[in-house]
Amino acid sequence: MKKKSSSKNIFIGCSVIPALILFVVFMVIPTINVFWMSLFKWGGLTNNKKFVGLDNFKILFQDKNFIKSFQNTLLLLVVVTIITMALAIISAAILSREDIKFKNLFRVVFYLPNILSVVVISAIFSAILDPNQGILNASLDFLNLDSLKKMWLGDQKVVIWCITFAMVWQAVGYYMVMYMASMCSIPESLYESAELDGASKVKQFFQITIPLIWNVIRTTLTFFIISTINLSFLFVKVMTSGGPDGSSEVFLSYMYKQAYSNSAYGYGMAIGVIIFLFSFGLSLVINKITKRDVIQF
């Protein structure tokens, strides 16, 4: 019996240890290194490092460009998350429960953006929003709506909303499929009972569907918020490079610019530390405020 238990432990150890080593080498050590490098003034290309302690962080919180990137990131987190989650849940409910024509076609169309890379999607939207040859301005011109034409990615007031639209379009289908899978596991008898009791479709949605898929919503919400921080960098990098005049700058794009374009690697790592702490803290808050008793059926 002891021999069997020992063999089992050896097997578990052999399975876990390689993954643990990879996690430590590629996650834990680089994270610690980011924290350590944030305490230096360093260009990143030479051995000239000057220990400055927390000076990078003092400068950071007085940096108007960083504050602007923080505001843009918060805006994307709130607006993109609310719109994406709402559209994904509603679309999943309609395509799961309603008897509509071309249901499978709609599923494919909604999921199509996830087949494409973020870089390709960003390039597509950049082409659509091009002020001279883009489809959007051409369509407005055709409809005699010249007053609505803009330099979409060159206008400080609307550029962040253009990026928001692209991010929502990219993400809705993926989360819709997730919610559809969880909705399909809800027994139809629950809806039939509710219908016999006179509950409307809307009431069934809020009192049956949402509570029973809440764990999935909670998990995807946390995942989506953190992934939005990462994806926003790719959209901004390809579509605007942070312009015009920093109007579309986000956390990661500003960190990248400081660390690799402005040769302020230590300062960039200080931004990385703030991003890490913000993401970690936000995950804890989301998990806390969305926690509720599991409803079983």
- What pLDDT does residue 129 have? 92
Q: What is the mean pLDDT of the chain?
A: 87
Q: Which amino acid is at 265?
A: Y
Q: What is the mean pLDDT of residues 236-252?
A: 90
Q: For the chain, what are the domain ranges? A: 57-289
Lowest-pLDDT range, 5-14, 90-99, 232-241? Answer: 5-14
In whole angstroms, give the CA distance from residue 130 to residue 137: 8
- What pLDDT does residue 45 have? 73
- What pLDDT does residue 105 have? 82
In whole angstroms, give the CA distance from residue 243 to residue 220: 31
**Residue 80 — very low, low, confident or very high, per pLDDT cuts 50/70/90?**
very high
pLDDT at 1 over 80: no
- What pLDDT does residue 102 have? 76
Reported as a single tens digit per residue, the pLDDT across 178-229 is 898 888 888 888 888 888 888 888 898 888 889 888 988 988 988 888 889 9
Q: What is the mean pLDDT of residues 171-176?
A: 90
Residue 69 token pair: 């990137």
- What pLDDT does residue 222 have? 86
pLDDT at 167 over 90: yes
- What pLDDT does residue 2 have? 54
- CA 72 to the chain's CA centroid: 13
pLDDT at 177 over 80: yes
pLDDT at 165 over 80: yes
In whole angstroms, give the CA distance from residue 200 to residue 282: 36
**Residue 70 — very low, low, confident or very high, per pLDDT cuts 50/70/90?**
very high
Rounded (5°) CA angle 132-134-135: 135
Looking at domain 57-289, its CATH superfamily turns out to be MetI-like (1.10.3720.10)
What is the signed CA dihedral for 91, 170, 225, 86, rounded to 10 degrees? -20
- CA 148 to the chain's CA centroid: 30
Contacts of 129 (CB under 8 A, 6+ apart): 136, 152, 153, 162
Percent of the chain with pLDDT over 90: 37
Reported as a single tens digit per residue, the pLDDT across 255-280 is 999 988 777 889 999 999 999 999 88
User: What predicted TM-score, i.e. pTM, was given to this entire model?
Assistant: 0.87
In whole angstroms, give the CA distance from residue 76 to residue 282: 14
What single string gives the DSSP state of each residue in the chain?
Answer: -HHHHHHHHHHHHHHHHHHHHHHIIIIIHHHHHHHHHTTEE--SSSS--EE-TTHHHHHHTT-HHHHHHHHHHHHHHHHHHHHHHHHHHHHHHHHHHS--TTHHHHHHHHHGGGTS-HHHHHHHHHHHT-TTT-HHHHHHHHTT-GGG---TTT-TTTHHHHHHHHHHHHHHHHHHHHHHHHHTTS-HHHHHHHHHTT--HHHHIIIIIHHHTHHHHHHHHHHHHHHHHHHHHHHHHHHTTT-STTTT--HHHHHHIIIIISS-HHHHHHHHHHHHHHHHHHHHHHHHHT--PPP--
In whole angstroms, give the CA distance from residue 66 to residue 72: 10
Q: What is the mean pLDDT of residues 33-46?
A: 86
- What pLDDT does residue 35 have? 92
Whole-number Cα distances in Å, 275 to 15, 82, 132, 272: 32, 21, 37, 5
Reported as a single tens digit per residue, the pLDDT across 92-134 is 988 887 777 777 787 888 888 888 888 899 999 999 999 888 8
